[in-house]
Amino acid sequence: MTDPIIDLQNIRREFAAGDTIVVALDDLSLSIQPGEMVAIIGQSGSGKSTLLNILGCLDRPTSGAYRVAGKNVSELDADALAALRREHFGFIFQRYNLLGDLTAAANVEIPAVYAGLNARERRTRANALLERLGVGTRGGHRPNQLSGGQQQRVSIARALINGAEVILADEPTGALDRRSGEEVLKILKELHREGRTIIIVTHDADVAARAERIIELRDGKIVSDRRTGTAGVSEPVARTAWDSGAGWTGALGRLREASRMALVAMAAHRLRAFLTMLGIIIGIAAVSSVVALGNASQRKVLSDISSLGTNTIEVFPGKDFGDARAGKIKTLVLDDARALDRQGFIAGVTPTVSTSTTVRYRGNESNVLVNGVGESYFQVKGAKLAKGRLFDADAVRNIERQAVIDDNTRKTFFADDQTSGIGRVIWLGKVPCRIVGVIAQQQGGFGSNQNLSVYLPYTTVQAQFTGGRALRSILLRISDEISTNLAQDAVTTLLTQRHNTRDFVILNTDDIRRTITSTTQTLAFLVAAIAVISLVVGGIGVMNIMLVSVSERISEIGVRMAVGARRSDILQQFLVEATLISSIGGIAGILIAVLLGVAINVAVPGFEVSYSPFSIGAAFLTSTGIGIAFGFFPARRAAFLDPVVALSRD
Ligand code: ADP
Ligand code: MG
């Protein structure tokens, strides 16, 4: 006699049922030789399935020793048990337990996937088995397109794909009609003749009669053990062994398989997958576009400010910005400008005055803002000449009536004029002025609003319009050697001395820039915080749906474990699914954000919403990370399910 392939010593299996303990197997000892065909019979509740589950390493005994081919099973960890199930056992269930989302052929291939067999060989093997079992033409069908008998043949093919020294069948004919049942038994008999060990659980005496050994259970004990035929064939089946899914290629193959499974699962629940994604899509789209918009508006504001010119400060009359009386305050005068001009640290002084009047040209008339400025005003303000020339220091000194118009004025009066107005005489109120130049429209800065502006020497404006010596402002260009802040202090001291009071305010472009930068940064931080919250909510949505998905697919998980999936395989499958959902959602969110950015760029001129590869990459990684982070808990829960518990869930 050879060594037994299966050897049970004093096996006891108890179940806690409420306060009481049910003893399903009671001090059971049994050994089975390789190549035997054994039927286990007994009434319902006698412990047959419990025994079979222990034999198949789906369940562990409460006490007693179980050896498979001499190896003590109680010393094996979850993965080693999975390996045993994968490579030594083949399970056939009463209810076939095929995965409904997969084709017959794909169902057959599952154990080979976990064993690390490459795709081509898997396919060949699965097709050959289906052929042999008489369902060769049904490989592409889904289980619900097959009859019960056909499904059971597919499940036998699945049991055989990894070789299966030992076939464990729990009521394999229980759900079949007589004829199909007969055919399944014929197949089992044939497998037995090949040298496989066959263990069939049945309550049907006719079925049991096909075996060579019948073991009868009652209340978890063996009450009879009869041999009805000759012992098994002399030459037991040789076990096929391959790399068993270990190593690089095996792991990669399983990852590919997990991704395929995740896609299949998502395809089977499209709406749900989409709704799950929606949270991520919205979150990522919101984060990306808000960050990009924030950057764009900050860039725009800063560029607008820098168009105001650098290293300049402007002094206005009034106690504070927005002083309602500022227009009436006449304290800032030309003498102040002259005094400032004498300071060494000031490179240029431009007094400004302004008034509004009407402008007339050949019967057209419009309101206009008349700005009286110095010759260096344009340079300090960063204005660009579009046509003609600017007026010079002589023009200012000589109070000449030379006008530089802005682009709005040109458009209003000289749209059709070849000269753009250069050399024409316009009437500002009652004062005729000759146009010498046109300055270009400047985004955000110069002449960006709809008003018309005309620039004259300030001396001319004072002489012809405002009279008096009061100024609207004094624009100062600070020499490069001195910091703006220092200059500002010096100007403050000087003017306070001259006025005996502080009746002016100073606008420093650096200050504005700093204020705006820090404001937008604060805003960006706030928005980012909100966006992060929305992403967390999206992630919780993913987790929630994955938990639902896991509990919906518990029996699938059970089947996968029964055919040899490792915990890591199950973990991977669900993790990949969560990650795929999130990353696809992330990609969709990025696309939406980019489209939104393009739309804004088209709709709002001067706004430059752009996405760097870095920010796109970051958004994508974030979505993927969310999938991994929030998918982990559900996936782990699936991976740590008890195989029997999972299998028995219907
Ligand atoms: P059979 O397959 O012969 O019908 P089982 O092996 O399924 O019998 O069950 C044997 C006994 O163990 C029964 O009394 C059953 O109620 C009990 N039992 C089986 N599984 C569990 C379980 N998970 N929890 C509690 N009791 C169980
Ligand atoms: Mg049973």
pLDDT in tens, 56-91: 999 999 999 999 988 899 999 999 999 999 989 999
- DSSP secondary structure string, 441-482? P-SSSTT-SSS-EEEEEHHHHIIIII-SSB-SEEEEEEPTTS
The pairing of beta strand 453-457 with beta strand 364-373: parallel
pLDDT band at residue 38 using 50, 70 and 90 as cut-offs = very high
Q: Give me the residue label for tokens 């084709």.
A: 103
Higher-confidence residue: 181 or 512? Answer: 181
Instruction: Give the model's pLDDT for residue 236.
Output: 56
Ligand 2: distance of its center to the CA of 48 in Å?
Answer: 6
> What value does the mean pLDDT take over residues 265-276?
89
Q: Please name every residue paired with 432 in a beta bridge, in sequence order, or none if there are none.
A: 427
Check pLDDT > 50 for residue 447.
Answer: no
Token pair, residue 3, equals 């060594």
Closest CA to 403 of 458, 327, 472, 364: 458
Instruction: Give the model's pLDDT for residue 335.
Output: 85
pLDDT band at residue 234 using 50, 70 and 90 as cut-offs = very low
Percent of the chain with pLDDT strictly greater than 70: 93
Task: Using alpha carbons, list the distances in angstroms from residue 512 to 508, 522, 533.
Answer: 7, 15, 32
Check pLDDT > 90 for residue 306.
Answer: no
pLDDT tens-digit map of 393-422? 898 889 999 999 998 899 888 888 888 888
Token pair, residue 215, equals 């073991």
Check pLDDT > 70 for residue 312.
Answer: yes
Instruction: Report whether 281 contacts 467 (CB < 8 A).
Output: no
Residues 6+ apart with CB under 8 A from 340: 346, 349, 474, 476, 491, 494, 495
Token pair, residue 635, equals 């996936």
Angle at 174 between CA 169 and CA 177, to 5 degrees: 125
Gap between the Cα atoms of 228 and 456, Å rounded? 121
Instruction: Give the model's pLDDT for residue 509.
Output: 72
pLDDT tens-digit map of 575-599? 999 999 999 999 999 999 999 989 9
Instruction: Report whether 507 contacts 256 (CB < 8 A).
Output: no
Gap between the Cα atoms of 42 and 39, Å rounded? 10
Check pLDDT > 90 for residue 511.
Answer: no
62 φ/ψ angles, rounded to the nearest 5 degrees: -70, -40
The pairing of beta strand 37-42 with beta strand 197-201: parallel
Q: Assess whether the C-beta atom of 49 lies below 6 angstroms from ligand 1.
A: yes
The number of the ligand nearest the C-alpha atom of 220 reads 1
- In terms of phi and psi (left: phi > 0; alpha: psi -120 to 50; beta: otherwise), the region of 371 is beta
Ligand 2: distance of its center to the CA of 434 in Å?
Answer: 107
H-run or E-run covering 126: helix 119-132
pLDDT tens-digit map of 521-547? 788 788 878 878 888 888 998 999 899
The residue count of the chain comes to 650
Ligand 1: distance of its center to the CA of 159 in Å?
Answer: 24
pLDDT band at residue 426 using 50, 70 and 90 as cut-offs = very high
Gap between the Cα atoms of 480 and 482, Å rounded? 6
Instruction: Give the model's pLDDT for residue 230.
Output: 62
Report long-range pairs for 23-27 (Cβ below 8 Å, ≥24 apart). Answer: 23/219, 23/220, 24/50, 24/220, 25/50, 25/51, 25/54, 25/61, 25/220, 26/219, 26/220, 26/221, 27/64, 27/221
Instruction: Give the model's pLDDT for residue 305.
Output: 66
Instruction: Among 49, 53, 199, say which to mutate for ligand 1: greatest number of ligand atoms within 8 Å of CB.
Output: 49
pLDDT tens-digit map of 105-137? 999 999 999 988 888 999 999 999 999 999 999
58 φ/ψ angles, rounded to the nearest 5 degrees: -85, -25
pLDDT band at residue 377 using 50, 70 and 90 as cut-offs = confident
Instruction: Give the model's pLDDT for residue 296.
Output: 83
Q: What crossing angle do the helices spanning 613-639 and 509-552 adopt, rounded to 10°?
A: 30
Gap between the Cα atoms of 539 and 281, Å rounded? 11
Percent of the chain with pLDDT strictly greater than 90: 45
Q: Assess whether the C-beta atom of 46 lies below 6 angstroms from ligand 1.
A: yes
Half-sphere exposure of 178 (CA within 13 A, CB side): 1
Ligand 1: distance of its center to the CA of 138 in Å?
Answer: 35
Instruction: Report whether 503 contacts 315 (CB < 8 A).
Output: no
Instruction: Report whether 336 contacts 495 (CB < 8 A).
Output: yes
Gap between the Cα atoms of 430 and 359, Å rounded? 9
pLDDT band at residue 633 using 50, 70 and 90 as cut-offs = very high
Ligand 1: distance of its center to the CA of 560 in Å?
Answer: 22
Residue 97, SS3 per DSSP: coil
Closest CA to 570 of 546, 591, 588, 605: 546
The number of the ligand nearest the C-alpha atom of 42 reads 1
Average pLDDT for the chain:
87
Closest CA to 265 of 578, 601, 585: 578
Ligand 1: distance of its center to the CA of 28 in Å?
Answer: 15
Which atom of ligand 1 lies closest to the CA of 51? Answer: 6
Instruction: Among 15, 60, 200, 641, say which to mutate for ligand 1: greatest number of ligand atoms within 8 Å of CB.
Output: 15
Check pLDDT > 80 for residue 328.
Answer: no
- Going through 133-260 in order, the beta strands assigned E by DSSP cover 166-170, 197-201, 213-218, 221-227
pLDDT band at residue 380 using 50, 70 and 90 as cut-offs = confident
> What value does the mean pLDDT take over residues 485-505?
87
Task: Give the closest residue (by CA) to ligand 1 atom 26.
Answer: 15
Residue type, 499: H
